[in-house]
Amino acid sequence: MTAYDYDVVIVGSGPAGIGAATALSRAGVKNIVVFDRETEIGGIPRHTHHASFGLLVFKRPLKGPKYIRALIKRCPDVQFQTSTTVTALHKDGIIEIATPDGMETIRARHIILATGARETPRHGRLTSGLRPQGVMTTGALQQFVYGAKLRPFKRAVIVGTELVSFSALWTLRSAGIKPVAMIEENPRITAYRPATLFARLLRVPIHYNSQITDISGISELREIRIGTHSGQHRTIACDGVIFSGKFVGDNNIARASHLTESSTTQIPKVDQNWISSDPKVSIIGNAVHPADMGDQCYIEGVSAGQTVAKILQDGPDAGGIIEITHGKGIKMATPNILRPRQGESTSIDISLHVAAPYTGTIVVKFEDEVIYAKSKRCMPARRITLKNVTLNVTDSDPAHHIHISLADI
Ligand SMILES: Cc1cc2nc3c(=O)[nH]c(=O)nc-3n(C[C@H](O)[C@H](O)[C@H](O)COP(=O)(O)OP(=O)(O)OC[C@H]3O[C@@H](n4cnc5c(N)ncnc54)[C@H](O)[C@@H]3O)c2cc1C
């Protein structure tokens, strides 16, 4: 087989996928398609009706759907195909798709996976109790409220205090649903502290150091019980529970394919230009760093699209891979591999997320040499960027190794 159906197939029409499509189209790549399994394009912002997008890209806050419309205007020539799920990825740029008309196998010169992230639902958190209706994630809540114009319950509890948890609070309020409590397993909220003022304004108590110990109700949720490690318990009457945050990359396609992944984070390997272990496949956006803001994903998509346009013209960089690993206290770091340019030193930005609050030095070592050391204040669920980490290695001996650590733990 030699003929290609497309120059580039992009999987996912969220901000990252649209960014990549825009850059490719502007670079003159004509034969691009963006597939999305949903009936509408736009990824998460299409159902997030808060003015929490666009500050970096448009210098003003926009609601999700308006943000997507503004992004789409930047790539008028790109073909989007909805209701199309990519079900498998193979070597040599081959993918399988499922559409309402059936299954198809297609081939592209390059594939960009921009499949986003999802919140950890109840089963992933090992929450005990019965399984009545009314338990969902923020994403599902927003699809009910803003997409289907439904009010799935009347009194709801939000589990988690990440930024998205306050987005859930906002969504409940917009839908006329009473938020009765927020539950946080740690002694402080995960989002920026001022977010507590919003909860206070709405008279929503935040229960710290707490977890759900029971969910009651057979067909409908009646109440939940929460407990602390010190043995205190409390019952909260509610008919809805929203599990918010604890994002994981939606990497089912990559994980079932020939692509390799980090053995510690199970995130697919991507280099400084978002190219995976297969030089014909890039992975971008929240699929590889769950979960950053829409603007960050769009900007990254643009940069990845520019790289792919160059690869289509000049061919991929030859050369091997150097692993980037991380130590205790770091939840994930991207890129997690480096492809050094032959004969040149390489300067990269590394973004990382910590597992627990940390203030102290972050050190990056190449073999035993410290190539970066800076003090940072880090909170979980917030992206920390290590800028211009410069490496004077010009070969990619697989024995080379880059390691990131939190020096003070
Ligand atoms: C509930 C929720 C609220 C959020 N609120 C905000 C906010 O207010 N502001 C903000 O900046 N960020 C917010 N975020 C973060 C959000 O993830 C980013 O803003 C941004 O949408 C990430 O862009 P992305 O392109 O990486 O992924 P996404 O926007 O998630 O897009 C991924 C797309 O890939 C598609 N897809 C996945 N798998 C397949 C497949 N196999 N075949 C075909 N299509 C597929 C999905 O249908 C989806 O459309 C929120 C996240 C969530 C979950």
The domain ranges of the chain are 1-119+246-316, 121-245, 320-409
Q: In DSSP terms, which residues pair with 358 in a beta bridge?
A: 378
Q: Give the integer Cα–Cα distance in Å for 363 and 375.
A: 9
- The tens place of each residue's pLDDT in the chain, 409 residues long, gives 458 999 999 999 999 999 999 999 999 999 999 999 999 999 999 999 999 999 999 999 999 999 999 999 999 999 999 999 999 999 999 999 999 999 999 999 999 999 999 999 999 998 988 889 999 999 999 999 999 999 999 999 999 999 999 999 999 999 999 999 999 999 999 999 999 999 999 999 999 999 999 999 988 999 999 999 899 999 999 999 999 999 999 999 999 999 999 988 999 999 999 999 999 999 999 999 998 999 999 999 999 999 999 999 998 876 788 999 999 999 999 999 999 877 788 899 999 999 999 999 999 999 999 999 999 999 888 899 999 999 887 776 777 889 999 997 7
CA 67 – ligand 1 centroid, Å = 13
Taking Cα atoms as reference points, which of 240, 234, 274, 277 lies closest to residue 255?
277
CA 248 – ligand 1 centroid, Å = 11
**So what's the pLDDT on residue 318?**
67
With contact defined as beta carbons under 8 Å apart, do 339 and 273 qualify? yes
Taking CA atoms, 174 is separated from 49, 63, 142, in Å, by 10, 14, 10
For 172-219, the pLDDT digits (tens) are: 999 999 999 999 999 999 999 999 999 999 999 999 999 999 999 988
Q: What angle do CA 176, 192, 245 make, to 5 degrees?
A: 60
Pocket probe mutation, ligand 1, options 11, 38, 44, max atoms within 8 Å of Cβ: 44
DSSP 248-304: EE--HHHHTSS--B-TTT-PBP--TTSB-SSTTEEE-GGGTSS---HHHHHHHHHHH
Range 89-94, long-range pairs (CB < 8 A, 24+ positions): 89/113, 89/253, 89/254, 89/256, 89/257, 89/258, 89/259, 89/281, 90/257, 90/258, 91/258, 91/278, 92/1, 92/280, 93/4, 93/9, 93/280, 93/281
Residue nearest to atom 14 of ligand 1 (CA): 293
CA 12 – ligand 1 centroid, Å = 8
**So what's the pLDDT on residue 2?**
57
**So what's the pLDDT on residue 392?**
84
Query: 121-245: same fold as 1-119+246-316?
Result: yes
Residue 20 Cβ contacting ligand 1 at under 6 Å:
no
Q: Which atom of ligand 1 is nearest to the CA of 247?
A: 53
Peptide bond before residue 61 is cis, with ω within 30 degrees of 0? no
Residue 381 Cβ contacting ligand 1 at under 6 Å:
no
Pocket probe mutation, ligand 1, options 9, 87, 115, max atoms within 8 Å of Cβ: 115
With contact defined as beta carbons under 8 Å apart, do 116 and 14 qualify? yes
Q: Which atom of ligand 1 is nearest to the CA of 119?
A: 53
Residue nearest to atom 7 of ligand 1 (CA): 52
The secondary structure element, H or E, covering residue 65 is: helix 64-72
Residue 338 Cβ contacting ligand 1 at under 6 Å:
no
The secondary structure element, H or E, covering residue 349 is: strand 346-354
Q: In DSSP terms, which residues pair with 247 in a beta bridge?
A: 119
Q: Give the integer Cα–Cα distance in Å for 209 and 252.
A: 33
Q: Give the integer Cα–Cα distance in Å for 150 and 132.
A: 18
Per CATH, the number for 320-409 is 2.60.40
Taking Cα atoms as reference points, which of 265, 291, 260 lies closest to residue 276?
260
With contact defined as beta carbons under 8 Å apart, do 333 and 324 qualify? yes
With contact defined as beta carbons under 8 Å apart, do 277 and 321 qualify? yes
**So what's the pLDDT on residue 317?**
75
Residue 57 Cβ contacting ligand 1 at under 6 Å:
no
Residue 41 Cβ contacting ligand 1 at under 6 Å:
no
1-119+246-316 to CATH, choices 3.30.420.10, 3.50.50.60, 1.20.1250.20, 3.40.190.10: 3.50.50.60
121-245 to CATH, choices 3.20.20.220, 2.60.40.1080, 3.50.50.60, 3.40.50.2300: 3.50.50.60
**So what's the pLDDT on residue 286?**
97
Residue 162 Cβ contacting ligand 1 at under 6 Å:
no
CA 292 – ligand 1 centroid, Å = 10
Q: In DSSP terms, which residues pair with 68 in a beta bridge?
A: none
CA 200 – ligand 1 centroid, Å = 29
Q: Give the integer Cα–Cα distance in Å for 294 and 57.
A: 10
Q: What is the dihedral of CA 388, 393, 397, 401, to 10 degrees?
A: -40
Residue recorded with tokens 């346009």: 309
Scored b (16 or more CB within 10 A) or e, 165-184 reads bbbbbbbbeebebebbbbbb
CA 117 – ligand 1 centroid, Å = 6
Residue 111 Cβ contacting ligand 1 at under 6 Å:
no
For 135-154, the pLDDT digits (tens) are: 999 999 999 999 999 999 99
